[in-house]
């Protein structure tokens, strides 16, 4: 069943985003009819994937979906995901070796995300903004990210930039590397330090970021 808003989009002869709107309908209404769940031959074990990710100083992140009631992009139907067992899932992700949780503030309700944030803090998992753009109808401007509840996601983004550049210089400077000089500090403190370095990177010579390290 299409919403009245989507119907009007499709009936508009001057709709310059028609193909995107149609694709959104196909994704939201027909994907389950054509999608084939991959088996282990096609999709490797999460344990192997996370182990490899950690071995190359990448940051394995679990993408939180959360139960959806109303999709802001129009391409997702109401659907339940992991909210019913989130309290059990997060510590299990930590045990597997995940270092971060990525989520999309515009997708979920504030109560959903505050609950997720609480669990991330409890198990020291980095929080990463995972907002993506699926349609020209989506704005690149997300005021919600400026709310106090999500300000730390901006800091995390700068920290990720510093992590990537420093890890390329020397693996021990990867944010979660066991030889990292800041290993003994809380994750929150490490992110602040890396965020400050990320903000000071010279865009003309990012390879010289190691000169900003003072630890």
- Do residue 111 and residue 80 come from a single domain? yes
Q: Which domain holds residue 154?
A: 150-215
Domain count, the chain: 2
The answer to whether residues 66 and 100 belong to one domain is: yes
Within this chain, do residues 128 and 184 fall inside the same structural domain, yes or no? no
**Radius of gyration for the alpha carbons in the chain, expressed in angstroms and rounded:** 20
Place of tokens 């198990």: 123
Looking at 90, 112, 146, which one is the last position of a domain? 146
Q: What global pTM score does this model have?
A: 0.84
Instruction: Verify that 52 and 93 share a domain, yes or no.
Output: yes
- Say yes or no: 136 and 155 in one domain: no
Task: Answer yes or no: do 119 and 201 share one domain.
Answer: no
Question: Are residues 63 and 126 both part of a single domain?
Answer: yes
Q: Establish if 114 belongs to a structural domain.
A: yes
Same domain? For 156 and 128 the reply is no
Give the residue ranges of the chain where pLDDT is below 70: 70-77
Is 76 a domain residue? yes
CA distance 67 to 80: 4
Asked whether residue 68 is assigned to any structural domain, the reply reads yes
pLDDT at 77: 62
pLDDT at 70: 62
- Which of the listed residues 146, 174, 197 is the one where a domain comes to its end? 146
Q: Is 63 left (phi over 0), alpha (psi -120 to 50) or beta?
A: beta
Tell whether 29 is covered by a domain.
Answer: no
CA distances from 89 to 49, 53, 97 (A): 17, 20, 13
Is the same domain home to 57 and 111? yes
- The closest of 36, 49, 140 to 98, measured between CA atoms, is 49
In a domain, 17, yes or no: no
Residues 105 and 162 in one domain: no
Whole-number Å distance between alpha carbons of 41 and 107: 32
Q: Are residues 176 and 201 in the same domain?
A: yes
pLDDT at 123: 98
Q: What is the pLDDT of residue 107?
A: 86
Q: Does 9 fall in a domain?
A: no
pLDDT at 198: 97
Q: What is the pLDDT of residue 71?
A: 55
| Residues 119-156 pLDDT 10s | 999 999 999 999 887 788 887 788 888 899 999 999 99
User: pLDDT value at position 30?
Assistant: 84
Give the position of tokens 């390329």.
168
Residue 120 covered by a domain: yes
Same domain, 184 and 99: no
Domain boundary among 146, 170, 193: 146
Query: Does a structural domain hold residue 42?
Result: yes
């Amino acid at each position: 069943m299409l919403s009245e808003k989507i119907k009007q989009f499709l009936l508009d002869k001057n709709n310059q985003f028609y193909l995107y709107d149609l694709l959104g309908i196909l994704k939201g209404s027909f994907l389950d009819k054509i999608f084939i769940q991959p088996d282990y031959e096609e999709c490797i074990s999460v344990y192997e994937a996370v182990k490899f990710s950690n071995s190359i100083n990448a940051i394995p992140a679990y993408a939180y979906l959360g139960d959806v009631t109303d999709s802001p992009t129009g391409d997702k139907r109401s659907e339940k995901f992991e909210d019913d067992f989130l309290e059990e899932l997060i510590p299990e992700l930590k045990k597997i070796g995940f270092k971060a949780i990525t989520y999309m503030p515009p997708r979920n309700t504030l109560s959903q995300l505050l609950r997720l944030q609480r669990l991330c803090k409890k198990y020291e998992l980095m929080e990463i903004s995972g907002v993506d753009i699926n349609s020209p109808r989506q704005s690149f401007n997300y005021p919600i990210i400026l709310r106090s509840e999500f300000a730390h996601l901006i800091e995390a983004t700068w920290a990720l930039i510093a992590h990537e550049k420093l890890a390329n210089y020397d693996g021990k400077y990867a944010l979660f590397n066991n030889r990292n000089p800041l290993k003994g500090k809380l994750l929150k403190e490490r992110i602040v330090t890396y965020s400050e370095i990320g903000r000071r990177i010279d865009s003309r010579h990012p390879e010289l970021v190691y000169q900003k390290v003072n630890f």
